[in-house]
Structure 1
Amino acid sequence: MSIDSARTHSVEIVPCLDDPRCYRWIIRARSGAVVEHSPYAFVTSNGARISGECWMREHFDEGRGG
């Protein structure tokens, strides 16, 4: 499990519960509350990280008014 910090949100990469060989991302608010999670699993943790970071930028990037 790993966490990358952002201003108000963070992306956490976790093993998939359905298939431990795969990974999912979770976006958490600064308080630790889950605000979004990946709709499907990724074969690599890096793939999950890239998707989670893109999702976070698109939906929660304060610099873009999100």
Structure 2
Amino acid sequence: MGDPAAYRDSTQIVLPVGTLEDIEVDLEAEFMVSVFRPTDAEIVRIIGSPVVIKEVTEFLTRHGVHMP
């Protein structure tokens, strides 16, 4: 069985709150992802399939978002 942390890393991107302010609408329109904001943390989770998460990473990079 695979390592759960490795699988989770390939299906989500965790960013600080506010990172997606200007591009969230475009992100959700272009990719099949869920954007989740836990109420108890200052983060945003982008959740999707491993293939989509890879494409989202490229999209975010093109839009100047630096990945942690």
More strand by percentage: 1
Structure with more relative contact order (C-alpha pairs < 8 Å, separation 6 or more)? 2
- Give TM-score, length-normalised by structure 2: 0.35
More helix by percentage: 2
